Homo-oligomer: A and B are copies of this chain.
Amino acid sequence: MNKAILVGNLGKDIEVRYTTEDLAITNLDLATTEKIKDNSQTEWHRIIAFGKLAEICGSLLKKGGLVYVEGKTRKRTWEQDGVPRHSAEIIAYKIIALGSGANLGVNKAIYIGRLGIDPEIRYTKDGLAVANFSLATNEKKGDGYETQWHRIVALGKLAESCQRYLEKGRQICIEGRLQTRAWKKDGITRYTTEVIASHMEMLDSKMADAGALENHMIPSASMETGSMGDIPF
């Protein structure tokens, strides 16, 4: 897992340029501010967005705007005048405009833990695979541990991968969104909170193919704002 999560303000307006293959690219300079006692510390981040995400950034974001960015960190090395130079960037795959008037938000859960059962898979009437399993996360508490159990739901291809590769006791990393649904039993409404997984990584791979430590779903680029009714996606 290689994840950067930033919330900060844009240092300049967005310029979109195009490669010879007609791929849109844009750079965002984002300032995140942290308050440590009475001092504010600002850190500048260079963010790169590609394709449709870059184009939507160009049409919707402005200097000074408050923005959520999720992506992966990447280092680049090149030569200038015979001297190796380095830079660090964040390749964005999700950007959300925040601040006054913004409607959209973030709903993210990240767990690392062990499966309590083998995943159970079933299929909906439409043929969609649905896998359910429980995951225990341990955290230090005093001299011992505190265990929390989480309900995980995986859909589609990710569900099939979970059934194929996972079993009780395996250590995995799960990323997803939290969802609470209401259901009735004996006339009483009850609520269940689950994580709808978007990404799964196996951590204690015992399989010969260490490549099984793969990302079963690469999040697709998505730009979201509260005021984009006219954008066709």
Contact = CB atoms under 8 A, between A and B. Distances in A.
Contacts of A8: 1-2
Interface in A98-156: 98-100, 102-114, 136-140, 143, 145, 148-150
Contact of A4 (B4, B75, B87, B149): B4
A32 B1 contact: yes
A5 interface: yes
A227 to B, nearest CB: 12
A204 B143 CA distance: 40
A164 interface: no
How many copies are assembled?
2
Interface stretch (A13-21, A35-43, A56-64): A35-43
A109 to B, nearest CB: 5
Interface string A178-210: 111000000010111100000001011010000
A150 B178 contact: yes
Contacts of A139: 104-105, 107, 177, 224
A44 interface: yes
Interface residues of A, number: 79
A12 interface: no
Given A2-B6, A5-B5, A106 B98 contact: no
A75 B33 contact: no
B7 A104 contact: no
Contacts of A83: 83
Contact of A190 (B114, B150, B190, B218): B190
A158 interface: no
Interface in A44-86: 44-45, 66, 68, 72-75, 83, 85-86
16 contacts: A2-B34, A3-B4, A34-B72, A35-B214, A45-B73, A73-B88, A86-B87, A100-B204, A103-B138, A107-B111, A107-B150, A140-B224, A143-B229, A178-B193, A190-B190, A191-B192
